[in-house]
Amino acid sequence: EALALGHEARPLPAVWEVLEAFPAFDDDVELAALIGCVTRALDGWAPDVAGQADHARLGDLWKSAKGDFSVGQALLAQLEAVPPPSQRPTGW
């Protein structure tokens, strides 16, 4: 998969490790609605994982790692896999 940038395209891993999307201003948004918004904004690319990230825990892990830490990998490990569209519950 590639990201079009003007007249060129770059592989997504070369651009970012992980894209995190979350409601602004502590708005209460259902997870299914957020997944839908992200999927539409990314032209049909659904997220691989979703859920409530524990940013305080991520911060603690980052501090204790002393530079050897991947926020993206920690998020991927912390959140749950999003099922493919054919396996999602009604309302997703």
In tens, the pLDDT along 2-60 reads: 778 888 888 877 777 888 888 888 788 898 889 889 889 988 888 889 998 998 999 99
d(CA 40, CA 55): 25
- CA-based max dimension of the chain: 43
Where would I find the beta strands (DSSP E) of the chain? 2-5, 8-11, 49-50, 80-81
The pTM of the full predicted model, rounded to 2 decimals, is 0.68
